[in-house]
Amino acid sequence: MNNRFRKQYIKIAKKLTLADLQAGADDGLLSMEDLVSDGRVAQQSNFFMGLFSQQGLKNAINAFGLTEALARLGLTDLNVEIDTCDPHSHRLYVFTGKPCQENTVCEMVLKRGPIQIMEHTLPNFPNKTPDFLQVEWLLLQNPKRNFDEIRPQLPGQSYPGLGIGDRMLQIMIILTRRLHLEGMINKPHYYHTAFMFTKDFIFTNPRNQAILQSINRDLLSQYKFHTVAWAAHFDCIINQVTNSTLIWNTDYLILPLEKYLIKYFHSHEYEEAVAQEMKKYNFTIDTRKFLECMQKRKIPVYEKIISPT
């Protein structure tokens, strides 16, 4: 995994103490018995993911250089809020200025726990139930910037992104390791989020991996990423092998951190399963339907696309 922030952030993480991460918390809550169970961080604590106080998250944001990075985008006066009412799913919010929906910079929903990977979709997957950091929702946006041709709107977006994905990924890897979990996992709602995640993640289901790679192979050489993203969203992608419409049906993406998971998802067996699935797909875009959908919703198209007569 090649992340330009990896070494730098590992050094920073080693310097962050428990006092840094739980700064400002009520001393009555700060006991190792509350925080650690069987050598692991206890999820039932009042801290975010059993580890961070609200001030502790601010300290971490500062330490990893995110405050400075966001300030360069005009996002200052950061306010951090956490919601740990649900013992299973914890929520993190970062606002620029007054905490309100219009000022949301980051919204994240995380949980931890085992995932039963569907073995019937995987050839000879190890007989284990891995324990993951589950990314249920992640929103990163700049509410002070408008969309343009350089940063066009993608499905599900209200504002352009922040361009800090590599930083966030490395921080979340550090968190995953600190919680003694075996990897990260999420279900991308859109093709474009799957595309961005799969620089480091891989689908647990070879079929979904094959679909993603086939879209990339067949369409990204002909169309801009923005076009392909909206075509997937509006069900405008056609599989010419079966003459059927592709319906984006997501599955788990995994970033394996334990050796047995890394070995499996980089094995010849898994890659061969993906290769065989890819033979079933040859994608094109129904340009007439695509242009009608874009025009109906007044979404700009940033390339010349000819609709068949």
Domain ranges (residues) in the chain? 1-186, 206-249+256-309
Could you tell me the pTM of the whole model? 0.89
Measuring CA to CA, which residue among 49, 48, 28, 53 is closest to residue 40? 49
Which helix H or strand E contains 60, and what residues bound it?
A: helix 54-63
Confidence of residue 25 (pLDDT cuts 50, 70, 90): confident
Task: Return phi, psi of residue 235, to 5°.
Answer: 55, 45
Confidence of residue 1 (pLDDT cuts 50, 70, 90): low
- The per-residue pLDDT for range 113-172, each reduced to its tens digit, is 998 876 656 777 788 888 999 999 999 999 999 999 999 999 999 999 999 999 999 999
> What confidence score (pLDDT) does residue 44 get?
44
Average pLDDT, the chain: 89
Per DSSP, 48 falls in state B
> What confidence score (pLDDT) does residue 8 get?
92
Q: Which residues contact 216 (CB under 8 A, 6 or more apart)?
A: 195
- The per-residue pLDDT for range 283-295, each reduced to its tens digit, is 999 999 999 999 9
Query: Which residue pairs, CB below 8 angstroms and at least 24 apart, start in 39-45?
Result: 39/180, 40/179, 40/180, 41/178, 41/179, 41/180, 43/87, 43/88, 43/112, 44/87
